[in-house]
């Protein structure tokens, strides 16, 4: 099986980049057209004469390839395209061309290349991951057709900053992509808040350590206002998880 090779040519003076094959034939042109209200990314299949047009908000373009890469994969379904524009073939060529360029230039973060490849592979599948640090462990994340991520708690797209945290984590833990796991008591509770009684009032403390007593019960160590202590009371797994969820 032959390996496809493409190269990416950057032409910032024309606000464009080109994808060429090994025979130096231009397969695609990708150009930014600036207007007062929005920018347009116009992708042209030079051989088939088909186009895809993506609208994006005004933005200062300092690094053309980075900008176009992000916008293409944040808006993988163009706002307009001619009937026979083949998005899958274009994305295959684009990802390969970006990777080839990065071997030499190194201008796009490795996490972004990983994100591009994962979006291309999973965009029709849906489920991306769950149990990600910094989010509730039971929250599931799904990849939308436009390359954005939504969560199961709100069924809405999450913030771009949250997406970046997820992609950074998945880049370091690539075996977690598309794999649903069952969160453990440690996932649910370590570093989480729990309500405790202090002088007759309920206050929030942070669980810093959980000990499995090997008898079906768990004991926790907490941080309350900078003071660390072990709670004498023990909890079953379900009791502890429920206490933490109620303390959110």
DSSP 95-132: HHHHHHHHHHS--S-HHHHHHHHHHHHHTTT-EEEE--
Say yes or no to pLDDT of 35 above 70. Answer: no
pLDDT at 63: 55
Model confidence at 2, pLDDT cuts 50, 70, 90, reads very low
Phi-psi sector, 133: left (phi>0), alpha (psi -120 to 50), beta: beta
Q: In this predicted structure, what is the pLDDT of residue 58?
A: 53
What's the pTM? 0.63
Q: Which of 60-64, 187-191, 214-218, 228-232 has the lowest mean pLDDT?
A: 60-64
- Count helices and strands in the chain by DSSP H and E runs: 6, 14
Give me the mean pLDDT over the 35-59 stretch: 77
Compute the Cα dihedral for 28, 55, 88, 84 and give only its sign.
negative
Same domain, 22 and 72: yes
Q: Which of 129, 146, 176 is the last residue of a domain?
A: 176
pLDDT at 125 over 60: yes
Domain annotation covers residue 1: no
Give the structural domain span for 239.
Answer: 185-246
What are the start-end ranges of the E strands in the chain? 6-11, 16-21, 26-34, 39-45, 50-56, 80-81, 127-130, 140-143, 149-151, 193-198, 201-212, 217-224, 227-230, 235-236
Give 192's pLDDT tier (boundaries 50, 70, 90): very high
Q: Are residues 12 and 101 in the same domain?
A: yes
| Residue 69: φ, ψ to 5° | -55, -50
pLDDT digits (tens, 9 = 90+) for 207-223: 999 999 999 999 999 99
Residue 143 pLDDT greater than 80, yes or no: yes
Question: Tokens standing for 91?
Answer: 């994305």
Give residue 1's pLDDT: 36
* Residue 116 domain flag: no
What is the overall mean pLDDT for the chain? 83
Is the model's pLDDT at 123 over the cut of 70?
Answer: no
Of 50, 81, 106, the domain-final residue:
106
Question: What CATH code is carried by the domain that includes residue 236?
Answer: 2.30.30
What average pLDDT does the segment 1-29 reach? Answer: 78
Is residue 99 within 8 A of residue 112, CB to CB? The reply is no
- Who has greater pLDDT, 53 or 190? 190
Q: Tell me what pLDDT residue 105 has.
A: 59
Counted domains in the chain: 3
From CA 202, how far away is CA 220, in angstroms rounded? 17
User: 140 pLDDT exceeds 50?
Assistant: yes
């Amino acid at each position: 099986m032959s390996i496809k090779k493409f190269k990416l040519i950057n032409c910032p003076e024309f606000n464009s980049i080109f994808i060429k094959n090994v025979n130096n034939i231009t397969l695609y042109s990708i150009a930014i057209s600036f207007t007062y209200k929005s920018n347009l990314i116009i992708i042209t299949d030079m051989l088939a004469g088909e186009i895809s047009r993506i609208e994006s908000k005004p933005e200062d373009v300092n690094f053309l390839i980075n900008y176009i890469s992000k916008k293409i994969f944040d808006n993988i379904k163009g706002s307009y395209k001619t009937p026979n524009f083949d998005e899958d073939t274009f994305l295959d060529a684009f990802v390969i061309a970006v990777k080839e360029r990065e071997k030499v230039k190194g201008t796009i973060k490795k996490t972004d290349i990983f994100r591009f490849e994962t979006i291309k592979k999973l965009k029709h599948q849906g489920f991306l991951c769950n149990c990600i640090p910094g989010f509730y462990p039971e929250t599931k994340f799904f990849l939308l057709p436009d390359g954005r991520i939504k969560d199961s708690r709100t069924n809405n797209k999450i913030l771009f900053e949250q997406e970046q945290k997820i992609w950074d984590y998945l880049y370091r833990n690539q075996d977690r992509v598309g794999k649903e796991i069952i969160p453990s008591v440690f996932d649910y509770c370590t570093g989480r808040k729990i309500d405790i009684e202090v002088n007759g009032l309920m206050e929030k403390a942070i669980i810093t350590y959980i000990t499995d007593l090997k008898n079906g019960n768990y004991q926790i160590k907490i941080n309350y206002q900078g003071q660390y202590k072990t709670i004498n009371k023990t909890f079953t797994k379900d009791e502890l998880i429920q206490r933490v969820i109620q303390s959110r």
